[in-house]
Structure 1
Amino acid sequence: MFISYSHLADRPVAVALQQGLHRLAKRWFQVRALRVFRDDTSLAANPHLWTAITQGLSGSRFFLLVASRESAASEWVAKEVLFRRERSDPSSFLIVVTDGDVAWDGVSRDFDWAVTTALPRQLSGWFVDEPLWVRLDGARRGVQLSLRNAVFRAVVCKVASPVHGVPPDELDSVDIVRHRRANRVRAAAVVALVVLLVVSALLGVFAVRQRDEAVRQATAASVRAFAAEADALADRDPVLSARLALAAYRLDPAAEQARQGVLRALDRNRHHVRHLVQEPALTAGGAGRKVDTGLPGTVALSPDGAVLAVGARWTGGVRLWEVASGRELGALGEAPGNSDRLGPALRFGDDGATVSVSTADTVEVWDVATRTRLSSSPAPPSEQAPGSTTATSRDGRSIVRGDDDGRISLLDAGSTPVEVLAELPDVVVGVVVSDDGAVAAAVDVHGNVLTLRTRADLRSDVLAGPVAGDAPQLLPSPDGRRLLVVRTGVVELWRVDERGQVGTFPTTEAFAGTFSPPVAAFSPDGRRFAIRSGGEVVVRDSESFHVLGSEPASGDPVDVAKAFTGQVGGVVTVVDAAGALTAVLPDGTRRVSEDIGAGLIGTPPGGAGAVLVADQSGGGRLTSWTSSGAPVGESRVEAAPTGIAVSDDGRFVALDDEVVDMTTGQRTPLRGGAGSGVAGSVLSFAARGDVVLQQVLPSRDYSGGTRLLVWDRRGGALIGEFDDHSLVPVNPFEVASGVVGVGPGSAVAVRQDGAIVLLGVEPDGWARSLCGLVGDFDPDERRDRLGGVELGPVC
């Protein structure tokens, strides 16, 4: 169809008619229902304009004239009409009138040109019968030129009817049907696209998860490999072993093997063990002079333990090391060259400023600071002595021995090993100790040299020095910043973060057990603490120690408990005069059981509380409360445990081998550990309730003391294990007498010598301590040991 119109007056109408004809009765798969030629859209930039128009006229079956006064006067419209008249019949000529008049004279069978003003004169005498023409009045006055407008739609239907060969009313219905069908097709296409999008997204998520799972499995495999290699190299190459343990932890800090490996490595080096020299083992046939020439053979420590001297076999050369940093200070001049297979005998002067080097022929004295020779003289026949494998401090308190299996042990006064301090790969041939016994050094048959601190422990800081007598009761504040230490006749207040004691308060009472009246307690917010003495409970401010109040407390356990709850709040559980188990809470007194049975309380007074009351079946009813006395929940326990602890909010209760969520009843097994020892266990929470500490008997080597198991409360995994003879064996029926959590990553413990120490119980702290000893991989180790695994610095 060709549309002819006046550009000046009827262009918007022509555009709307073209679009309407394109869309009316269009099938869903068609671009347009009719092909319409309009010069604005159908003509390219062409200098031969009339030729292009005539081609459009010749190729169109129908001619549509947008009639108006302006089109009737248009020269171009007249030429287009005349061209069409000469080459076709009037049946394909359609007229839409937008302005002016059109009248037909039936007598003359022509337009009444006296009235008609909208048509060009070129149409005169052409039509035999009145042609199809429709009016579109108002098209120039803002009428909506859209198929949604009923008037305009009717005009388009009448114009398109002869072209489609369908009556106008039927064409309208066909358009509606086809439009609905197109909508359905469009909706189906949208649904299909959405389904494809969802499927694509799911496939993408699946692919990402598969990739993440592959990365996770690869990481887990690397963690296992590094941890296993770290354990395998522990004896032969302790430094590399520790670095591999750190690599496993940096790859995946949440992996059980990684966390356990870091603590095992730290435990092996807990006494600040520095491996100053690591030499390859001699071959089976390599015991000859040429193989071990120059290897370390003898060691000596300055009296203050600050400097280590290492003598070389056969050559007699001596090197000096700074113990604190592990830094080599340098060699002492030229080697005398007349030493024997053990190396020269070494001895520091009393002030540590000089060191004597004795060989078979000479005794040389050297200045330690400048490493210059001060004197040289012939050696007396008995001057050089073989290296000793046992050393004793000047005060006799520290006895250190090296054994044929490479162990370096701390001995008691009866020469019985009480702790393995460190291990060398093979037979120990020399051991020395500082005058105060705090620092020791050793060398083995292969020339491996290490230093260690016998009394210090990388896993802990000493809060209070050794005190003789019974083990004290430890009562931390809820925020972990303060600590009450209850001893016989006195209560000490400590600031944990400052590692210092800030106050002492006399008391006439003594801690007697779980269900005895309390001696001291913190308030749930830690701002106040109370001490019982002389029949009175006195409460003080935790910062200023000013007395805030007091309350009489008779000898009756329930009255004492009421006095404490009245002053600081929290839960206090006691056995009253009738032998019944009574819980005294801030909101009242409750009789828990008529018979104590096997009831256990999990926290010291002042915090939340939990009680297990056993029945005849061996199990019991477990109940917990918040520090304000609000009940948290109850749970059935099938077997009476030997230890129990409750978190600060009363929600979680730890038993021997599980953690119970008292709000939901969910039970999380503590898995992967060695379980309770033969004499039961003591439990406590640490790290704001995220870690469970379990102290079990006996230690792994049965040398006395305990093991401390560190559990992840959320998953029940074993984070690590302290195997330490020095922690006090505790009575599982005495609350808070052994190890208690303080702060976000620490616990307070009592050693057998009476010292109070602060233990690190979180893996990040263990890794930092280990890094301070061994540092990061060197480039060759990183290339050879990491196997291409991308890993940043481990320290």
Structure 2
Amino acid sequence: MNTRNAQGATTTRRYRGFISYSHAADDRLAPALQSALHRFAKPWYRLRAMRVFRDKTGLAVTPALWAAIQKALADTDYFILLASPQAAQSLWVEREVDWWLRNRSASHLLIVWTEGELSWDRAAKDFSWTQTTALPRRLERVFQEEPNHLDLRFAKSNVHLSLNQPKFFEAVAGLSATLQGRSLDELIGEDIHQHQKTMRLLRFAVAGFAMLTIAVGIAVFESWRAKSMAGKVAGAIEYTANREQRRAISREAAKQALAALESNRELAILLAVEAVSVDPTDEAKSALRQSLFEVLSPTTTLSGHTGGAYVGRFTRDGRQVITGGADKVARIWESDSGKMVLELRGHTEGVTGVDVTSDGRRIVTSSRYDQTARVWDAANGKGLFEIKQEGLAFAEFSPNGKQILAVADQGDAVLWDGESGQRLRKLASAYALMRGASSLYSASFGPDGTRVALIDWWPTVCDVTTGNALFELEGHTRQVRDVGYSPDGQWLVTASEDHTARVWRADTGKSVAVLPHNTEVIMAMFSPDGQWIVTGTSDDVVHVWDAVNRKKVSEIDVRPNQLASFALSPDGNFLVAAQEEDIAEVFETRTGAKVAALMGHTGPIRSPAFRPTDGRYIVTAGLDGKVNLYAFDLEGTTEQLLALARERVPRQLTALERAHYLPATLYKQAPVRP
């Protein structure tokens, strides 16, 4: 919704509504109402009709969580209070109401009555507080006349609320009309129109599939006739034709699966299974993953970082997770059991970074707050030495573990001996040599550990042995923000505020490709398998590029949320994006399709990462103090995906469904290649 600020400028807030409620009273109703508002009159091509914020924590008010709630309130058009006696007594609800009344208008505070009593005293022009039990006392003398309210008390006894229920549909329609600033008749008409449009699109897709069926049937007949006319040559031609036929059928069945996703997920799964069974094309496997989309809860939660967890990462063998947080402690955990193995104590401020040697024997932790890095024996947690460096932001081991690169924010990049802690040398950038001081943004080792690429306004590649600059990467016209090597060490990629990313030869620094964007590029990396280049922009969009031909293959748009960080799976097939809210999402890199949402945090998420051995688990650290581990089954083999699908939907396509979507004439067995 567009509003005007004090200077008269038009602004757009992220949320149409903020649901404030008691978790004890309305833990079932609140999410059902939020979901219905998201779906009512939703166009088929959008994820939601509008965005409605719902606080998912039932904890006491703490500074860390309250900051996130205030941010959401400030970015909301309407305050939706689920009124109940429990909400009236909730300190959390009272604080949210108080913030709204002090900062926004009571005219945009909507009351949804779920339980208790509401009574208006006309003479006093206020609620009768001797009879009203459902409202917090902070609302005393706020309204000059009786406010309209939505009566949802009937919903308390309904376990499965749905827009198919007339009373709930009517209630959601009225609330949606207010939130969207549209008339009720217009909005209901729009809901009907969008439903009809979705069904028309599905019918068109079915018609298109029928036409393809006829065409493929003709191709089968022609292939059969060719075989009867020519022996082995015709047999080879027929084999090729049947192979292409299977691929065509598979791809079309995949399209049918995606078309059915909105209206019938079970059918979508069955069609995707059929597509993969006919031929496991990329399109078929993608349709199967999308149809298996799941909201994942953590399999294990590693708790203990009071004040917030800043980082969590797997060791290279995936058997352990190392975490760090605001409590100045780093911890080592067994990833399978969640059992804590060691505590690493010594920092005087919060631990913001961790790294492990390739052999897993030593750990380096860093704190941008106390500006130190500490090295530990991974077997017993014994502190080996401390590195002190002004402005230190992070520290990482060289590939062989013999050196440590410590990078100061807007300062220097310094190499230290990884075994003794002795300072070796400062890395000299061309820009620092010109003006006499360093002002770094980023730095990283090359895969062989002989070079470091660093950013000091513009990128420079330095020799590790001497610390001298070998060459500059010349071509960007504004500040460069990020740099990364390809896994094989042949290429570099940089991100710049000049709206481009660039690809360079790592041995010479020659620019070989420019990847154009519409806004500032702030993150850039190669996928672990080297197949993709992934860039992140200031407008919270992730762009995926083919690393060979440098063509864009997909976009991942997390808006209206704010992108905090992202990470790629070991095979490069998936990307997990952490957001400045309480959710992380997993996307296919090739298509940009969302295949999973990770729930379980109650605050902003940091440091998402896949298990490096197989990508079958994901770790996230949250400012709520939790480090969560999630089982990610979609990273499995094709056979494992099919087994998961059959577990979700144990039945098979009915004869009617098969005849309608997949005519038997298309399934003639292709001959064995001669």
**Same fold flag (TM > 0.5):** no
Q: Rg bigger for which structure? A: 1
Between the two structures, name the one with larger relative contact order (CA 8 Å, sep ≥ 6).
2
Q: TM-score, normalised by structure 1?
A: 0.26
Q: TM-score, normalised by structure 2?
A: 0.30
